[in-house]
Amino acid sequence: MKYTRRIQLTGGSTYTVSLPSRWVKNASLSKGSEIELSELGNNLVLDPRSAGSSQKAKILTISKSVEESFLERIMTSLYISYFDALTIKTEDIMDQKTRETIKRFARRVMGVEIFEETSNSIVLQNVLNSETFTVWNAIRRMSLNVDTMISDGINAMKSIDRKMMFNIIERDDEVDRYQWYIFRETKASQASGESNVYALILSRILERMADHSVNICNAIIKAKKVNEKCLIALSEFLGSCYAMYKDSMSCFYSGNIEAMNAIIEKKKEVGQLKNNLLSSIDDDSLNLATAVSEEILRIGLYSTDIAELGMDYLLANEISFEIR
């Protein structure tokens, strides 16, 4: 939601602006509360999570036996919603399975450590300072992980290296860690302007690209028969989309709007590459080629989405822009 306020001059040298009452209430602020102010380009960021504010503590009580996957989803949602400390407790002595699920979750997410442990409770503490590790730091790390997943996928396909494919699948958890962190920090700092929103959208695109890399590996691993010639053709298609991905991330960071537009224009070209590939595949490999080429196509199309998002991000705060 956007608000408009008129700047007032008080005391001859101090500029003031009133805060929207709805925002103040939603941030649980009141008269005398402190907020942090920081500059983000031409934007002034107001963060209600000041150093003097009380910590955000949450409690999860488990009163019955729950499935491991369900407990993980609950803890993930609580992590994204943001907490400084999360106490997970049971009415009786916590069973070993629940304890191991909580500890595994703490290892999977970013910036969370076990602070305290008793017979019926575990306290998780947020120890990562979001000021020193911003969402854009997380984006760079995340994009590098996706980069290596795709490039290693190309090599694994060429050499039919299933061991490397299993390794690529395992690395998807690392990408998820960054995506959850970015989601959490974006939600926690809703008052910090629009830039984090672009990071959140980009992280979602990167997460989906990692998923498609995993799907490619799973499809090849599960295939009863793998034709080497087919995999070489698929690896070349993936190589073309990988080049688009590297170009899209490069122009996103550099702000090269002409290069962004050139990548966006490749949408039809990617689809044609897929059609050409499938028309050259023998019938006995067609099922695998169809499944894998669809995953590769998505990586290419997501690369054009990154370029479009880069253009949106670049022009978001521009009042005047010249095309030369």
Element spanning 36, H or E: strand 36-40
The partner residues of 45 in beta bridges, in order of sequence, read 38
Q: What is the pLDDT of residue 84?
A: 87
Q: What is the pLDDT of residue 56?
A: 80
At 112-128, the pLDDT tens digits run 999 999 999 999 998 88
Residues 238 and 296 sit within 8 Å (Cβ to Cβ): yes
Count of alpha carbons within 13 angstroms of residue 46, beta-carbon side: 12
Average pLDDT score over the chain? 87
Could you say which DSSP state residue 148 is in? H
Q: pLDDT tier at 298 (50, 70, 90 boundaries)?
A: very high
Q: What is the pLDDT of residue 51?
A: 46
* Secondary structure (3-state) at 70: helix
- Dump strand ranges (E) for 105-150: 112-117, 121-126
